[in-house]
Amino acid sequence: MSDRSENDSAQAVSGGRVQAIQAVRGVKDVLPDESPAWQRLERICRDFFARYGFGEVRVPVFEVTQLFARSIGEATDIVEKEMYTFEDRNGQMLSLRPEGTAGVIRAYIQSGLQRESLTRLYYLGPMFRHERPQAGRLRQFHQIGAEALGSESPALDAEVLVLTADLFDSLGLLDGLSLEINSIGCPACRPRYTAALKGFLAGVAEHLCENCGRRKETNPLRVLDCKVESCRTHTTAAPEIIDHLCEGCSAHFSQVRTHLSAAGVAYAVNPRMVRGLDYYTRTAFEWTSSDLGAQSTVAAGGRYDRLVERLGGQSKPGIGFALGVERLLLLMDETREDPPHLFCALVGDEAEVAMVPVLRQVRNAGIRVDRAFEGSLKSQMKRAGKSGAAFCLIVGGDELARGQAILRDMAKRDQREIPLAGLADAVCEIVKAADA
| Binding region for Zn ion (CB under 5 A) | 185-186, 188-189, 209, 212, 226, 228, 231, 246, 249
* Closer of 209 and 329 to Zn ion (Cβ): 209
How far apart (Å, rounded) are the C-alpha atoms in residues 375 and 377?
7
CB of residue 305 vs Zn ion: minimum separation in angstroms?
10
CB of residue 68 vs Zn ion: minimum separation in angstroms?
24
Q: CA-based angle 116:121:124, to the nearest 5?
A: 160
- Is residue 295 a contact partner of residue 137, using CB atoms and an 8 Å limit? yes
Element (H, E) at 429: helix 423-435
Q: What is the dihedral of CA 210, 215, 221, 226, to 10 degrees?
A: -20
- Is residue 264 a contact partner of residue 279, using CB atoms and an 8 Å limit? no
CB of residue 252 vs Zn ion: minimum separation in angstroms?
8
Distances (CA, A) of 317 to 53, 274, 285, 388: 18, 19, 17, 52
* Closer of 102 and 186 to Zn ion (Cβ): 186
* Closer of 215 and 408 to Zn ion (Cβ): 215
Q: CA-based angle 164:271:191, to the nearest 5?
A: 110
CB of residue 316 vs Zn ion: minimum separation in angstroms?
18
* Closer of 64 and 246 to Zn ion (Cβ): 246
CB of residue 283 vs Zn ion: minimum separation in angstroms?
12
CB of residue 198 vs Zn ion: minimum separation in angstroms?
15
* Closer of 245 and 299 to Zn ion (Cβ): 245
Q: Residue 297's closest CA among 305, 285, 308?
A: 285
* Closer of 12 and 246 to Zn ion (Cβ): 246
* Closer of 209 and 354 to Zn ion (Cβ): 209
CB of residue 282 vs Zn ion: minimum separation in angstroms?
7
* Closer of 231 and 389 to Zn ion (Cβ): 231
Q: Is 33 exposed, middle or buried (0-12, 13-18, 19+ CB in 10 A)?
A: exposed
CB of residue 212 vs Zn ion: minimum separation in angstroms?
3
- Is residue 150 a contact partner of residue 115, using CB atoms and an 8 Å limit? no
How far apart (Å, rounded) are the C-alpha atoms in residues 64 and 349?
57
CB of residue 220 vs Zn ion: minimum separation in angstroms?
11
How far apart (Å, rounded) are the C-alpha atoms in residues 43 and 54?
14
Q: Residue 250's closest CA among 284, 286, 282, 279?
A: 282
How far apart (Å, rounded) are the C-alpha atoms in residues 324 and 129?
13
How far apart (Å, rounded) are the C-alpha atoms in residues 186 and 243?
13
* Closer of 176 and 239 to Zn ion (Cβ): 239
* Three-state secondary structure call for residue 412: coil
